[in-house]
Amino acid sequence: MSTVRTNTFKKSIMHVGEMASGAKLTVPVYSFKSGKNNAPSVYVQANMHGAEVQGNAVIFQLLELLKSADIQADITFVPYANPVACNHKNGEYTLGRFDPITGVNWNRMYHFDEAVIAPFAEQYLHANEADICADFKKLLLNEIEEKLDDHIWGLTTGQRIAYQLQRLAHQADLVLDLHTGPISSKHLYCPEYAQESASFFDIEHTILIPNGFDGAMDEATFCPWWSLQQAFKGLGRNFVMGEGAFAKESFTVELGSQEQIDLEVAKEDATSILSYLQHKGVIVSADKSLQTYLPKEMTRYACYLKDYKALYSPMGGMVDYLAEFGKPLSAGEPLVRILRMDNYGVSEGANEEGEQDHNSEPLHYVSLDHTVLPILHFASASVNQGTELYKVFSKYFEL
């Protein structure tokens, strides 16, 4: 007979900065210490970008569902990861993709110094796997601690936040950074080597990313390990990424559209994440009373990062977004219809500058010359020439 589990996540408060008034910027951290070491440890954060709030609801549902789970590893949850972004309004919306002072994307400020890889690989060429794993993790954490300890020139606001989150993330084996698109279908950023894991999420679209560091949380946590594995390989010692000491995986989970909270959908997404965690052994359901989390059956599509393309508007105007997410759009089919009322009735003659403008129609359609899979589109109908209209899988394949 099973007893009711009531796993308790300990809440602590992390200070990540201060505002001009002296107000402290704090982030709640929920952590569960399993006392076991049977499975990879987990780190999940949400809301690094201010408008991308749904991940907070997913963490809520994860906490609720995990109350009665059999947890085999340490788990840490950080909702509201970026209190500056999260609370920054301009008009009704949340201006949260970048530091409002500097314009720097909040998710491009994590740290990875490629220079540490080669020396470590050489030094540990003949070390055992456990030591490699432990000491490399220690090295990564030391790097972050040193950054946080710089008392001379200091850190930027975003670095101070990012490094403190990264310090938590480096302690885990599996890292999930919960984001959303602007108006978007669900999709997953997954390192190329972890492609198999993508099938355990209830997400139809996966972007496979290479070992290039561009400052994001997922890259900051898997690139060091991947780079290390490659350095060892160059020295003649082969490890398999995703296994043993290198059983590290990081994902950016794009939960749909920004500026929205939906607790029902959040429960589905929590279930999807638990399906991945159960696959990894983080939760087990040997006990019949416990829920089993299995991935849904669906056709999953993948696309290499280089083929995940943004389409920029060829003109200013007001956009009727026509292409549906996740449905292949044939060559020549319009993605958008752009309204240009200022051109109404002008095409028949000259425009106000006395020149004939080639694009002077009130409606303008934009299509591509090959089939694509639309994933997300811009959040507003009003676009400038050069505003990103859609992001699409330009080439893709079944996962």
- Chain residues 296-325 in contact with its own copies, contact rule CB under 8 A: 309-320
Q: Give the nearest distance from C-beta 143 to its own copies in angstroms.
A: 19
Q: Using the rule CB under 8 A, which residue among 39, 42, 48, 51 binds its own copies? A: 51
Q: Using the rule CB under 8 A, which residue among 138, 345, 350, 356 binds its own copies? A: 345
- Judged by CB under 8 A, the chain residues 103 through 122 that form the site for its own copies are 103-105
Work out whether 14 is an interface residue with its own copies (CB under 8 A). Answer: no
Q: Give the x/- contact pattern for its own copies in 142-171, rule: CB under 8 A.
A: ---------xxxxxxxxxx-----------
Distance CA 297, CA 275 (A): 12
Q: Give the nearest distance from C-beta 66 to its own copies in angstroms.
A: 12
Q: Using the rule CB under 8 A, which residue among 5, 7, 14, 28 binds its own copies? A: 28
| Part of the chain binding its own copies (CB under 8 A), chosen from 77-85, 123-131, 230-238, 325-333 | 77-85
| Part of the chain binding its own copies (CB under 8 A), chosen from 167-175, 208-216, 275-283, 380-388 | 380-388
Work out whether 35 is an interface residue with its own copies (CB under 8 A). Answer: no
Whose CA is closest to 366, among 330, 328, 337, 325?
Answer: 337
Q: Give the x/- contact pattern for its own copies in 350-379, rule: CB under 8 A.
A: --xxx-------xx----xx--------xx
| Part of the chain binding its own copies (CB under 8 A), chosen from 133-141, 206-214, 220-228, 334-342 | 334-342
Q: Using the rule CB under 8 A, which residue among 33, 36, 37, 89 binds its own copies? A: 89
- The strand pairing partners of 366, in sequence order, are 336
Give the nearer residue to its own copies in terms of CB position, either 139 or 155. 155
Please report, for residues 31, 261, 313, 316, the alpha-carbon distance to residue 381 in angstroms, rounded to integers and kept in the order given: 41, 22, 11, 10
- Judged by CB under 8 A, the chain residues 248 through 267 that form the site for its own copies are 259-263
Give the nearer residue to its own copies in terms of CB position, either 344 or 397. 344
Say which residue the tokens 């490890």 belong to.
Answer: 239
* Residue-wise DSSP of 344-392: TTTTTS--TTSS--TT--SEEEEE-SS-BEEEEE-S-SEE-TT-EEEEE
Give the nearer residue to its own copies in terms of CB position, either 119 or 314. 314
Distance CA 178, CA 102 (A): 23
Work out whether 332 is an interface residue with its own copies (CB under 8 A). Answer: no
Distance CA 231, CA 396 (A): 30
| Part of the chain binding its own copies (CB under 8 A), chosen from 51-59, 127-135, 243-251, 323-331 | 51-59
**What torsion, rounded to 10 degrees, do the Cα atoms 290, 78, 167, 130 define?**
10
Q: Give the nearest distance from C-beta 305 to its own copies in angstroms.
A: 15
Distance CA 188, CA 197 (A): 11
Distance CA 185, CA 203 (A): 9
Q: Give the nearest distance from C-beta 351 to its own copies in angstroms.
A: 10
Q: Give the nearest distance from C-beta 361 to its own copies in angstroms.
A: 11
φ, ψ (nearest 5 deg) of residue 204: -75, -25
Work out whether 23 is an interface residue with its own copies (CB under 8 A). Answer: yes
Strands 24-32 and 75-78: antiparallel
Distance CA 374, CA 303 (A): 12
Work out whether 381 is an interface residue with its own copies (CB under 8 A). Answer: yes
Please report, for residues 6, 78, 120, 169, the alpha-carbon distance to residue 275 in angstroms, rounded to integers and kept in the order given: 20, 20, 35, 20
Tokens coding 19:
């505002």
Whose CA is closest to 117, among 98, 139, 133?
Answer: 139
